[in-house]
Amino acid sequence: MAAIATKANADVPAASGKLTNRRRFLDACRCRAVDRPPVWLMRQAGRALPEYRELKEKHSFLELIQTPELAAEVTLQPVRRFGFDAAILFSDILVIPEAMGQSYRFRDTGGLVMDFALRTKADIERLSVERVVERLSYVDQALRLLRKELGDQTALIGFSGSPWTLATFMMEGGSAEKYTRALKLFHEDRQTFYALAEKLTDAITAYLQMQINAGADVLQLFDSHGGQLAPTDFQEASGRWMRDIISELRTPNSELPTIVFSLGTHGNWDDLLATGASVLGIDWQFPLAHARRLLPANIALQGNLAPALLSDATPDVVATETRAVLETMRGRRGHIFNMGHGVPPNAKLENIAALVDTVRGFK
C-alpha cells in the first residue's frame, strides 16, 4: 500500500532491549531486525482449545462471532494460553456474503450451507454493497474492545476472504466437495464474473477500512481457493482484485502492513508481489528456502510448518520441525512464524505449546 513506512520505529528501538510482542510483529512485517521471529497461527482460536469448546456448549458459532464481547473473548483465549505475538479477530470470511444478502448456517452433517447459491446475473445484481459496513458493526465493536484490551502489548490482525475465494463459496452456495461454478463463470461469462468480483472488491475494501479505523494493526487476505485456478488465470480471477483492495486502503497516520495468504499459488510470484502486500504467506507445500531465494528482501515471509504435525506428531517432532523452519530463515529479516495453513481442529495442546516455546527460545 502507498503512503506507509513513514513513521520511524520510535517507541521501542530494536537495539534497546525488550520489544513488545506488538512491536516485534510489526517490525518483522516491515523487514526490520527483531530479536526472534514473531509467532501467531492461522485458526489459532477455536476447536483445539477446551475453553472454546466450553463456550460452544452455551453459544452457537454465529452467536460467538456476532456478539462483540464473546468474539473478543474467543480471540483472546489463545493469546492468554500461549502468549502469541498477534491476536487474530475471531470471525469468519463468510460474514461478507452474509452482509451482502447471502446468509449461511451449519449443516448437521458438517460444512456450511448458504440460503441460496448465486446462479444468475440477477442474483449478483441483488447483492448489496452499501449496507456491508453497517451490518458488520459487530466486528467494529469487537475490534475496538480488543484494541483496548491488547494495548501496546499484542498486535491485532483483521482479515477478509479474497474476492475469488468468497466467489467460490457464493457460487456453490456454501462449502462443497469441489468448487467448479465460479471457475465456470470466469471462463464462460467473463463480464458477469467481473461484475461479481467488483462488487466483492468494493465490499471488502469498505470492510477492511472499517477494521483499520477500529484499531487493527495488520490485515490479512485469505485467498484459500487461489490454488484452484490455473496459473494463467490467477491474475485475472484473483490477484488483480486483491491488488485493487490493497491499493485503496488508507492509513493516514501510521504504517499498516498487509498479508496475502494465497494457498497453492506459488507459481504466481509476480502476481502475488503485484498485489502490493508487505507480507506473503507461504503454504506448507512450498519449500520456504525457495521462497527465501525468490522473493525480494523488502517482502516479509510468513510460514510454513505443516499443519498435520500439530495433530499427528509428538511435541519433540514438532519442536524439531519448528527449529528447521526457523533455521531456514535464519538471518533473513522479515520472517513471521506461522503454519502453512490453519491449526487443525484436533491439534494437541502440547504440540502448539512445543511450537511456541521453540520459536520464543530461538536465538
What does the binding site for ligand CP3 look like in residue numbers (CB under 6 A)? 42-47, 56, 61, 88, 90-94, 111-112, 159, 175, 222, 224, 342
Angle between helices 181-188 and 163-172 (to 10 degrees): 110
CB of 126 to ligand CP3, least distance (A): 22
Closest to ligand CP3 by CB, 239 vs 281, is 281
Distance in angstroms (rounded) separating the CA atoms of residues 308 and 241: 31
Closest to ligand CP3 by CB, 31 vs 260, is 260
Report which residue type is found at 230. A
Torsion of CA 208, 210, 212, 215, to 10 degrees: -130
Closest to ligand CP3 by CB, 46 vs 334, is 46
Query: Which is nearest to 94 in space by CA: 222, 192, 214?
Result: 222
CB of 118 to ligand CP3, least distance (A): 16
CB of 69 to ligand CP3, least distance (A): 16
Query: What's the N-to-C CA distance of the chain in angstroms?
Result: 32
Closest to ligand CP3 by CB, 31 vs 212, is 212
SS in 3 state form for 271-326? HHHHCCCCEEECCCCCCHHHHHHHCCCCCEEEEEECCHHHHHCCHHHHHHHHHHHH
Query: Which is nearest to 283 in space by CA: 314, 261, 259?
Result: 261
Closest to ligand CP3 by CB, 111 vs 287, is 111
Phi-psi region of 334 (alpha: psi -120 to 50; beta: other; left: phi over 0): left
Closest to ligand CP3 by CB, 222 vs 337, is 222
Task: Report the alpha-carbon angle 56-57-60, nearest 5.
Answer: 50
CB of 167 to ligand CP3, least distance (A): 12
CB of 33 to ligand CP3, least distance (A): 27
CB of 220 to ligand CP3, least distance (A): 8
Closest to ligand CP3 by CB, 31 vs 221, is 221
Phi, psi of 222 (to 5 degrees): -90, 110
Closest to ligand CP3 by CB, 45 vs 76, is 45
CB of 262 to ligand CP3, least distance (A): 10
Q: Which residues contact 254 (CB under 8 A, 6 or more apart)?
A: 7
- The 3-state DSSP class for residue 60 equals coil
CB of 91 to ligand CP3, least distance (A): 6
Measured between alpha carbons, how far is residue 267 from residues 197, 231, 280, 336 in Å?
Answer: 22, 7, 13, 21
